């Protein structure tokens, strides 16, 4: 057997890990959606919903700022180092900063897409369109990154390293899944059609849940292939684009919308964003390397 190929035991382990990651991603992303749905259903049955709904909106906005702080930290302390590492693995040694170039390409591509979507879909309400696009950019960035991480896990052959990488990915999935779920849950508060909201939420949860398993299956299928350089280059480019998309989403969508000069509760929102940053920074410090 080729030393780069998995034994039947390791292949079976990775198939089990695929199923577990599917459950973890779906549960962590779906939980905030179900909780907010339950709260909104209860509010609609109460007579004083006019007083309670603004309170729910206020807390959702604060939690969104917390998620923004988490995403900001993930972008600079997790995704950006991943991009640099991916370009090292791809053996793209050059004085030219190709990693930064890919990040900026990802940023400007999503900026262009946002402007095109804004022009084409002017019939939608501004709030509805903005929230849908925010969800799209976050989902795209996380899915690309998850696909690459799954690919790396699929190529991992030592049993102990596979288990350790799975545990790291699982913790990462829980935190990111909860934050994505919060953004998806906010769609229920807007005036979007119910069927459209449910479709976006279900498709988003499935996309996020399937990204890493698909990456693992790709990695498993390519084990034993002699030259993986082209695939490593592709992975590096995808990592860069994902990071650029992520940075755009955090700065130009989440934090920009929540911390505006005319918005209320600015200092409290800033405190929640800072709390998200500190929490994720501590989490990454204790995360296995």
pLDDT in tens, 151-197: 777 776 667 777 777 887 888 788 888 888 888 887 776 656 677 78
Q: What is the pLDDT of residues 71-80, one digit of tens each?
A: 888 888 888 8
Residue 54: predicted pLDDT: 65
Structure tokens at 250: 């955090």
Residue 278: predicted pLDDT: 94
Structure tokens at 91: 């053996």
**CA angle at 278 for the pair 72 and 183, rounded to the nearest 5°:** 45
pTM above 0.85?
Answer: no
Cα 248 from Cα 19, distance rounded (Å)? 31
Which range of 34-43, 55-64, 86-95 scores highest in mean pLDDT? It is 86-95
Cα 205 from Cα 139, distance rounded (Å)? 9
Nearest Cα to Cα of residue 29 among 133, 109, 113, 143? 143
Residues 6+ apart with CB under 8 A from 263: 269
Structure tokens at 76: 């600079």
> In the predicted model, is pLDDT for residue 1 greater than 50?
no
> In the predicted model, is pLDDT for residue 287 greater than 80?
no
Q: Are 150 and 166 in contact (CB under 8 A)?
A: no
Query: What proportion of the chain, given as a percentage, has pLDDT over 70?
Result: 80
Confidence bin at 2 (pLDDT 50/70/90):
very low
Q: Give the residue, 8 or 69, on which the prediction is more confident.
A: 69
Q: Kindly report which listed range (117-121, 137-141, 235-239) carries the lowest average pLDDT score.
A: 117-121
């Amino acid at each position: 057997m080729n030393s780069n190929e998995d034994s039947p035991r390791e292949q079976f382990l990775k198939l089990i890990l695929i199923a577990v990651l599917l459950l973890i991603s779906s549960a962590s992303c779906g939980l905030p959606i179900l909780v907010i749905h339950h709260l909104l259903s209860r509010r609609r049955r109460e007579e004083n919903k006019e007083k309670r709904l603004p309170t729910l909106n206020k807390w959702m906005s604060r939690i969104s700022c917390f998620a923004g702080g988490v995403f900001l930290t993930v972008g600079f302390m997790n995704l950006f180092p991943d991009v640099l590492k991916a370009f090292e693995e791809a053996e793209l040694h050059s004085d030219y900063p190709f990693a930064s170039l890919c990040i900026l390409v990802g940023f400007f591509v999503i900026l262009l897409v946002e402007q095109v979507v804004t022009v084409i879909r002017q019939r939608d309400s501004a709030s509805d369109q903005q929230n849908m696009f925010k969800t799209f950019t976050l989902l795209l960035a996380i899915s690309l990154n998850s696909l690459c991480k799954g690919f790396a896990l699929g190529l991992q052959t030592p049993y102990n390293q596979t288990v350790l990488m799975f545990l790291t990915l699982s913790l990462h999935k829980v935190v990111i899944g909860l934050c994505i779920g919060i953004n998806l849950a906010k769609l229920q508060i807007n005036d979007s059609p119910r069927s459209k909201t449910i479709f976006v939420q279900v498709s988003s949860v499935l996309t996020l849940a399937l990204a890493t398993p698909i990456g693992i299956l790709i990695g498993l299928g390519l084990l034993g292939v002699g030259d993986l350089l082209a695939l490593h280059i592709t992975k590096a480019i995808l990592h860069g684009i994902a990071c650029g998309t992520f940075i755009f989403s955090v700065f130009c969508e989440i934090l920009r919308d929540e911390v505006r000069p005319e918005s209320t509760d600015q200092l409290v929102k800033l405190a929640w964003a800072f709390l998200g940053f500190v929490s994720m920074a501590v989490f990454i410090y204790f995360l296995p390397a």
